[in-house]
Structure 1
């Protein structure tokens, strides 16, 4: 079987369908424009910590588990299996990672975290691929099972151990962190000058080269690695064909069951790695309910990214940045984001008018006016709104990006071997 046949039969889009893909220069221009807008808001609001080195470094650390979960969802859904169970697989990753980490070291904990998530993925694959159970039902069941299982195991593994209890593990040894000497200090000094755009760029770059965990480096490399494997190899082409048209792939000799199993187990492993990151890098300890819905936010980041690794990474970065706002400057930073949202909605108004969608333009203008008024009449936002900012961002991003999304055609469709014969 040739890879070109599978591509022509099951993966290539029809002529005239779909939207033109964004090129790298266009994406870089969009990112630069967004950073300039954030810089303008920073100058107007006086919230200078919005793009500081510490803010960006914290945002990156918060974005990594969301991004890894989203990457796991991408693997599964590109093969046609919806993985709502990412949250449960992350929970398994936190527990197994902490259990092995406090006994044998952090890197062994990382491996066990991946293994724990992969076992959850294997269970999901057996239920959905082999037995044909509804993917959503299976995912929800795994989420519930993971909570109960880890709570039960903690009573035996952590309770009674020094530093542990039935709800948390003992302290785990930290993974080494790296900082590029000289460059990090220079960028931090440049960021503290609060110049327009220049200081913001210095803050973003400085956050990436300061106090960076080695596991963060591994997680970042998994994004281009996934893109190369799924979009530049015959293996990836066959796997994606299972998510577009498994029947056509089967007629060309692709073992659809095998590729779905590989994808879903890898998906669970990615989610388990995200959980291990939370336990070992983010906090250094396992705690009950530690994931806090990040598996679901990772799924939202994947959808925002249109089932592509680069877009998913941008979505994870956005959610991580929003989450970090409440940790540094809290109410002041989120108050500045009200102004940013209001300006973005003004841009949306002009875009909707250009597309002659007048009702959407009027609604966007009304919301923008409300945000401008809220920003002008207040100095800070309620603490409750600060806490819910990441989840509000999730809803807003998904609602604004919904019209341009294209999921794999056979995503969530129950497949039976032999249907193509």
Structure 2
């Protein structure tokens, strides 16, 4: 262990135990994904709600997922180093302004870099407060959120109020009409998959619709986001730097005794965390929309934290959790029949979890889940539509439910949120 932490080798093979746990984890999530896809296909066939996973629905869900996923990845970097980053929301807000300002003057890809820069500055402030001065992580994070919200509104009024040109239209709290970074379509493949998805075959058409959404006018920034998920997994679990960083979140005193510069790794992690969150804000301004407006994040930084926790502080779980929250967030764009069909899907899901809880000997949880499944089934059978007001709050309700039922299987980094002082290993 000492050699792993002190020698500058380019890559570190995971211990056999970690590899086995990783394979089990991947297998479980693969089965969950396939099971969820089969359940969605079954509900689609039974209800005739073909829009439940059409290419357009999946594309909207991907667009809604990416900002949440970036915030969750930001939280992962920070908390794996032992620093809780509640300030993701504020860093995302700064990223929306940075994307708008730099895109207006220098183009969309410079805007993406500007979003990352503004978010990283927010991360740097959080690192200075928590790592250097030992401020409580939650207090500092809340302060970052307030600073981000106020600063973005001030900067928008100062820089955007008088803008009015072919490159965008400004206002006191907005800047619209910005260029987007571009998209990609794979000729032939896109049309073939779209055609197959429109045949509405069980499971086959559902898979085709998902692949069609990934090959038809998909934003280049979206592809960058998915690449960052893979890069994060590689860096944190397959490099010496990642091992050292994670050791700072598990036992910083032991890491320091082995020669790891704990403060440096914490600073790097929190700044990278802010950069990810800022990119999430930039995605909202340039891909989800075509401009900046105050309050644009709408709590997605907090939902990103929930996705990180749901994913058990691992990139694969974070990807699936963000996808679930992104899909529920995109529901407000769907028609009433599609949303109503999802009640049956929720009932099936709760019933499956109730059976699993019963097999695990957790009778109380099984009863609660079973009752929930029955209630959702009755809601589906006795009504014809879901109120729009409920649809808009679905992401937040899903966040609370998932965290409530997943809490017992979670394992956060042992030193997460603890104040660390250099030399305390002594």
SS at match of 2:52: coil
Q: Which of 408, 416, 422 in structure 2 is aligned with 1:417?
A: 422
1:274-353 matched pairs, under 5 angstroms: 274-329=280-335, 331-353=336-358
Shift of 1:67: 0.4
- Specify the alignment match of 2:126 in structure 1: 124
Shift of 1:29: 2.6
Shift of 1:334: 2.1
Deviations 1:223-255 (A, max 9, x none): 010010010001100000000000000000111
Shift of 1:5: 8.0
CA distance in 2, matches of 1:274, 1:209: 22
- Specify the alignment match of 1:9 in structure 2: none
Question: Contact 1:50–1:325 (CA<8 Å) still a contact in 2?
Answer: no
1:264-279 matched pairs, under 5 angstroms: 264-279=270-285
**Does the C-alpha gap of structure 1 residues 108 and 224 become closer, same or farther in structure 2, counting only changes over 3 Å?**
same
CA distance in 2, matches of 1:87, 1:57: 24
Q: CA RMSD in A?
A: 1.8
Asked whether 1:214 is paired with 2:220, we answer yes
Structure 2 unaligned residues grouped into runs of 5+: 8-13
Shift of 1:194: 0.9
Question: Contact 1:161–1:170 (CA<8 Å) still a contact in 2?
Answer: no
Q: Which of 356, 359, 380 in structure 2 is aligned with 1:375?
A: 380
Question: Contact 1:48–1:194 (CA<8 Å) still a contact in 2?
Answer: yes
CA distance in 2, matches of 1:31, 1:77: 26
Deviations 1:186-226 (A, max 9, x none): 11111111111111011111111111111111111000100
SS at match of 2:321: helix
Asked whether 1:2 is paired with 2:42, we answer no
Structure 1, 139-148 or 169-178: larger mean CA deviation:
169-178
Shift of 1:135: 0.1
Shift of 1:4: 6.2
CA distance in 1, matches of 2:105, 2:6: 50
Shift of 1:23: 4.5
Question: Contact 1:115–1:272 (CA<8 Å) still a contact in 2?
Answer: yes
Structure 1, 359-368 or 380-389: larger mean CA deviation:
359-368
Structure 1 unaligned residues grouped into runs of 5+: 7-11
- Specify the alignment match of 2:10 in structure 1: none
Q: Which of 63, 66, 71 in structure 2 is aligned with 1:64?
A: 66
Question: Contact 2:5–2:255 (CA<8 Å) still a contact in 1?
Answer: no
- Specify the alignment match of 2:371 in structure 1: 366
- Specify the alignment match of 2:11 in structure 1: none
CA distance in 2, matches of 1:208, 1:22: 27
Question: Contact 2:92–2:279 (CA<8 Å) still a contact in 1?
Answer: yes
SS at match of 1:107: helix
SS at match of 1:410: coil
Question: Contact 1:191–1:202 (CA<8 Å) still a contact in 2?
Answer: yes
Shift of 1:127: 0.1
Shift of 1:170: 3.9
CA distance in 2, matches of 1:5, 1:33: 43
CA distance in 2, matches of 1:60, 1:226: 19
Please report the TM-score for the alignment, with normalisation by the length of structure 2.
Answer: 0.94
SS at match of 2:190: helix
Shift of 1:20: 7.9
Deviations 1:89-144 (A, max 9, x none): 00000001101111110011111110000000000000000000000000000100
Structure 1, 48-57 or 83-92: larger mean CA deviation:
48-57
Question: Contact 1:158–1:170 (CA<8 Å) still a contact in 2?
Answer: no
- Specify the alignment match of 2:76 in structure 1: 74
